Amino acid sequence: MVETQTKNQLRSQFLKTRSQLKRDDWQSKSTLICQNLQSFSVLTQAKTVLAYLSIQNEPNLHQLFTNSQQIWGFPRCVGQQMTWWEWKPGDPLQTGRYGILEPTTDANIITPNQVDLILVPCVACDRRGYRLGYGGGYYDRMFASPEWQTIPSIGILFDFALLHELPIEPWDRQLTYVCTERQIIRF
């Protein structure tokens, strides 16, 4: 289980660095990420996009969700799976598992056949498109299923967390793109 230990070590290292970002720096880097996405055709041409509501200094994507052309979906964690629900600023949210804000079940559910693009929060990513998450395997399980597998994904992270090569395990899936405050890379 050397690989798992290494993943855990990397997780705590990158989470620590991210937690130490000053609020202004976090917000200005987040704004740059949003601007990169807003001028990226893969996003602008997408109609329905799945995203996340930032916790623990994850890049804040909130400005994408206001006055946008897109329908946005956010997850609710149910057991080992995520289900996806439509949400726009002003709609109610409740605190779910891991302290993550979630749409309520009054919202419209979103099924994979509606989804054009998925923005995936990352603790770190490597230059092959492999992702390090919080260790729950939620996105790996999602992308393992055929209906989700073919949908383009963009890993979202700050540039300091983009590294050469992460340890990977058989279930880890490659993202289609990553976006940081400095660049968008296609794999």
Where do the DSSP E strands lie in 29-145? 48-50, 71-78, 81-86, 93-95, 101-103, 109-110, 117-121, 124-126, 131-132
Q: Assess 75 for contact with ligand ADP (CB under 6 A).
A: no
Which range of residues in 39-47, 71-79, 107-115, 164-172 is near Mg ion by CB under 5 A? Answer: 164-172
Amino acid at 82: M
Site for Mg ion in 138-157 (CB under 5 A): 140
Sign of CA dihedral 53, 122, 180, 84: negative
Encoded tokens for 40: 């990226």
- Among 75, 103, 121, 133, the residue binding ligand ADP under the rule CB under 6 A is 133
Give the separation between CA 112 and CA 27, rounded to whole angstroms.
31
Give the separation between CA 131 and CA 171, rounded to whole angstroms.
11
Give the separation between CA 48 and CA 18, rounded to whole angstroms.
29
- Per-position x/- string for 168-187, each x denoting binding to Mg ion as judged by CB under 5 A, each - no binding: ----x---------------
CB of 120 to Mg ion, least distance (A): 11
CB of 133 to Mg ion, least distance (A): 6
- Among 53, 71, 132, 178, the residue binding ligand ADP under the rule CB under 6 A is 132
CB of 58 to Mg ion, least distance (A): 16
The residue whose two tokens read 């987040």 is: 30
Instruction: Between 4 and 104, name the residue whose CB sits nearer to Mg ion.
Output: 4
Q: Assess 134 for contact with ligand ADP (CB under 6 A).
A: yes
Residues 6+ apart with CB under 8 A from 150: none
Site for ligand ADP in 15-54 (CB under 6 A): none
CB of 107 to ligand ADP, least distance (A): 25
Q: Assess 144 for contact with ligand ADP (CB under 6 A).
A: yes
Which range of residues in 51-59, 70-78, 94-102, 167-175 is near ligand ADP by CB under 6 A? Answer: 167-175
- Among 93, 96, 101, 141, the residue binding ligand ADP under the rule CB under 6 A is 141
Nearest-CA neighbor of 44 among 35, 52, 57, 55? 35
